[in-house]
Amino acid sequence: MAKLIFEMSKPGRTAYSLPRCDVETCGSDVLIPEKYRRKKDAELPEVSETDVIRHFTELSRMNHGVDTGFYPLGSCTMKYNPKVNEDIAGMDGFRAVHPLQDDETAQGCIRILYEMDRMLSEITGMDRFSLQPAAGAHGELAGLLVIRAYHAHRGDTGRNKIIVPDSAHGTNPASAAMAGFEIIEVKSDERGGVDLEELKAAVGPDTAGLMLTNPNTLGLFDENIKEIADIVHDAGGLLYYDGANANAIIGVCRPGDMGFDVVHLNLHKTFSTPHGGGGPGSGPVGVKKELEPFLPVPLAEYDGKQYRLDYDRPLSIGRVRSFYGNFGVILRAYAYIRTMGPDGLRKVAENAVLNANYLMHRLKGHFDLPYDRTCMHEFVLSYGRHKETGVRTLDIAKMLLDYGFHPPTVYFPLIVSEALMIEPTETESLETLDLFADTLISIADEAERDPEKVRTAPHRAYTSRLDEVRAARNPVLVYVDEDTAE
Amino acid sequence: MYRYIPNTREDQEKMLSAIGAGSVAELFSDIPEDIRLDRDLDLPDAMHEQELVSHMKAIASENVNTADHPCFLGAGVYDHFIPSVVGHVISRSEFYTSYTPYQPEISQGTLQAIFEYQTMICRLTGMDVSNASMYDGATAVAEAALMAVRSTGREKVLVSRGVHPQYREVLRTYAVHAGIGIAEVGLSGGMTDLDGLRDALSGEAGVAAVILQSPNFFGVIEDMEAATALAHEYGALTVACVDPVSLAILQPPGEYGADIAAGEGQPLGNPLNYGGPHFGFLAAKQKLVRKMPGRIVGQTTDSEGRRGFVLTLQAREQHIRREKAVSNICSNQALNALAATVYLSVMGKQGLKQVAELCLSKSHYAYSKLLATGRFEKVCDAPFFREFAVRSVDEPVETINRRLRDRGMIGGLALERYYPEMKNCWLVAVTEKRTRQEIDAFVEAAAGGGR
């Protein structure tokens, strides 16, 4: 195992290089009253530059990324992250711009925000986008607050419930609760879509809206979407589109044309920006015209000559974040859209769906397929043999690690038992899909022949199986060494 | 052909025939005809790589940037020096192309780095536990307030007007819609008015949290010890919004008894990026750990007894608890927190102190030089760190900033934008990057001389 950076520390070693003080003023001992001063130094590591580089290089080698190998993590759209976009985000003209500079000195940045608003609106069939939300869940919160503000502005104050299907991402109900709504869960029907009868029974004068992912987390397109939209709209509610699965439909159909009123997109999924080990993402939120006044402030405007940030939006829900969002992420997504163009974006969806259907076809004889129909960008299998073999989906996932694959999402959606949710994306080749399918099939066979081997996997990863129960039962969340222990 | 899509026509045909589909269009037959897009998206045509780079360079050149123009603007985001090492580490694609570490056995790099990050944040703030990062300083403060509401069962929050105005706006967005009342505490002499705070605490029954920032929006070091004692006297928690660089030399929140420490982590090795991505940090006392939002990494062992790291205490989170989760946060700002971890490793115990001392000295040098010109006067007399407010005697701040821009510099913030009563007041930040020569030129231009 790698040492912790603290375990490499040795007093007197340095990795920094700082200028000497070139002004004659006093230090903190004079400028800061004693009672405000720190008495004991913060125990940060003392290491050399070589130590830093070796340490973090060693850590990086214990990680699997998209650049390392196939990463079919369902609902996460782990597509290739284009390198030129990293170069662009590293240009001084973008990375070294202060967010509070005058608009005249940040015309390029505001232009990116403005053009992204226009392009994302076209892609989704909406009228206006705010790029402020920092992640998908953050976009959900912003979008739900917009829905809340819209109803309130109309004096329609009794709408305090958000309807969420049982197949939804966990962030949907969590965001709705954070926005002050009660959550009504509706069941899926036997085809994996929203059960229309349940939905009809759930809507009423207290319905603020419905949150829906389409295609849903089963990877299935809800063909009743127009009826669903009518049911919700007729009851006076609004439709919220969770864009986590937008990779399936980009250039093919648009949430705005399906009847959605509010949309968020995950730029770190559909628009190829890297996930960074958990972030930064970006979750722009788009709306139809009637909801535009409620979007977060500021929005980017253009008068044909100058770009500017508009703060004069009295009905806005306010800010959801400082400044204008994860600009560096928005910039990468902008470069991606300009690289692909309209034809390329449609081909993204077409190939993502083709790859998923091919992989589903290769695997369906070897695993259970609870919803056997054409899928979109992802599909959900179930490992139904676990009672006979004693092997669980988790074990199969761990066994995949030995073959250099990141496992699919497991145990989600919650409505499928022993679920494996597989999303190959369009950036993977037929050869990779075949190798993955062959491997997964051989693991299923292995589970019959030698279940113990699968149950104790991984055998060739950086560590053997880690004890998550122990970590939660006796939380050790910071490093304590003898020198700093009180 | 598109370089990010490897399928050839032949591959596609092979796959379609395996599936038993006649065409790719057939795979989309679940989508009702009347909602299918029967045209191309109305977007600009695809660009080849060279064209894209030229296009982006041209847009970038429409911005004035701090790499070419000395920057005296701060107000929550600071132009600190970033060692080369930081960019090299976070450019390792094993880090930046990975997802949230759901599969710990092949994510030990990310997980151990977060564990190191949590440890560094706790050592800087003097708190017991830290999460893996928040979106930014503003949302970290808002989530800290929600945490305090959850753990006290009270529904009012007091926030000082010395807290970053945008943080207060975000707090309002988050809290008001969740039915939480927000009241502001005024300022006196550039600092939070502690008498006003006492009045607010005794007047408002059931205050969950008192939020102060130190150094505050004006760079002023607040009397956090007194404010914390006051909050505790009324059973409220203290949320300390702090600057991580200043903590190398300022008393940490853990020492003055704060319950939650939150703030903006950008100064630790993250570029300005026109406001993001940056990251927020959130740390707390042990007793609050199960109320904390976001990812937390814990130490454990593998089946052979070796140390390893996993995401833990997940019963707080949305993917397990859904609407009962403590927050909806899923993606965070992991790569930015990694940059901070590398930065703090490079700076270490001595280097971070030096950065803080340099900021302190240079900002005081700039302050006294500006006052000495006679064109600026004091706004207050309180001790400050890295940033300070002055009042221009006879010129609007916009005029001064325009003059600076003409001479290739980026001036400070017009405070009137956020504090209408602060006419002609200017917020100036001076980091370790500013040389004496730059500061002298800045002062000269600010005072209107040296044409």
How distant is the Cα of B299 from the closest Cα of chain A, in angstroms? 5
Q: Please count the other Cβ atoms lying within 10 Å of the Cβ belonging to residue A34.
A: 9
> Pairing between strand B260-264 and B280-284?
antiparallel
pLDDT at A486: 43
Domains of chain B with CATH codes: 85-342 (3.40.640.10), 348-447 (3.90.1150.10)
B277 preceded by cis ω (within 30°)?
A: yes
Which residues of chain A are within 8 Å of residue B296 when distances are taken between CB atoms?
475, 477
The interface pTM score, or ipTM, of the predicted complex is 0.98
pLDDT at B451: 46
Give the residue from A4, A40, A63 with the most B CB atoms within 10 Å of its CB, the best one to mutate: A63
**CA–CA separation, B117 and B101 (whole Å):** 15
Beginning with the edge strand found earlier in the chain, give each strand of the sheet holding A285-287 in spatial order.
A128-130, A285-287, A262-265, A238-243, A207-212, A161-165, A182-186
pLDDT at A482: 66
Tens of pLDDT, residues B200-234: 999 877 999 999 999 999 999 999 999 999 999 99
Q: What are phi and psi of A262, to 5 degrees?
A: -135, 140
**CA–CA separation, B313 and B329 (whole Å):** 14
Across B186-194, average pLDDT: 97
Which residues are CB-neighbours of A114 under 8 A, at least 6 positions away?
A300, A301, A302, A307
Assign A483 a pLDDT band (cuts: 50, 70, 90): low
pLDDT at B263: 98
pLDDT at B323: 87
Q: Which of B118, B178, B247 sits opposite A478 (nearest CB)?
A: B118
Q: Which of A180, A278, A462 sits opposite B331 (nearest CB)?
A: A278
Average pLDDT, chain B: 96
Which residues are CB-neighbours of A333 under 8 A, at least 6 positions away?
A116, A267, A271, A272, A273, A282
Across B73-85, average pLDDT: 98
> Is the Cβ pair A427, B108 closer than 8 Å?
no
Which residues of chain B are within 8 Å of residue A90 when distances are taken between CB atoms?
87
Alpha carbon of residue B350 to chain centroid: 24
> Is the Cβ pair B274, A106 closer than 8 Å?
yes
| Residues 433-472 (A) with a CB less than 8 A from some CB of B | 456, 458, 461-468, 470-472
Residue of B nearest to A464 (CA): B302
* Listed residue (B234, B247, B181, B228) closest to B203, CA to CA: B234
| Residues 85-114 (A) with a CB less than 8 A from some CB of B | 86-88, 90-102, 105-109, 111-112
Give the residue from A466, A474, A476 with the most B CB atoms within 10 Å of its CB, the best one to mutate: A466
Q: Please count the other Cβ atoms lying within 10 Å of the Cβ belonging to residue A180.
A: 17
> Is the Cβ pair B112, A4 closer than 8 Å?
yes
Task: Mark out the alpha helices in B153-288 (DSSP H runs).
Answer: 165-176, 194-203, 224-233, 253-256
Contact B97, B301 (CB under 8 A): no
Residues linked to residue B426 through DSSP beta bridges, in sequence order: B390, B414
Per-residue burial over B76-110, b if 16 or more Cβ lie within 10 Å, else e, is: bbbbbbbbebbeebbebbbbbbbbbbbbbbbbbbb
Tens of pLDDT, residues B132-171: 999 999 999 999 999 999 999 999 999 999 999 999 999 9
Average pLDDT, chain A: 96
**CA–CA separation, B266 and A198 (whole Å):** 47
Residue of A nearest to B355 (CA): A18
> Is the Cβ pair B318, A171 closer than 8 Å?
yes
How distant is the Cα of A98 from the closest Cα of chain B, in angstroms? 5
**CA–CA separation, A213 and A169 (whole Å):** 8
Q: Which of B77, B331, B342 sits opposite A52 (nearest CB)?
A: B342
pLDDT at B87: 98
**CA–CA separation, A158 and A313 (whole Å):** 25
Tens of pLDDT, residues B83-119: 999 999 999 999 999 999 999 999 999 999 999 999 9
* Of A25-39, A299-313, B51-65, B337-351, the least confident: A25-39
Tens of pLDDT, residues A75-101: 999 999 999 999 999 999 999 999 999
Which residues of chain A are within 8 Å of residue B385 when distances are taken between CB atoms?
32
Domains of chain A with CATH codes: 5-60 (no CATH), 84-339 (3.40.640.10), 347-471 (3.90.1150.10)
How distant is the Cα of B335 from the closest Cα of chain A, in angstroms? 5
Which residues of chain A are within 8 Å of residue B140 when distances are taken between CB atoms?
none
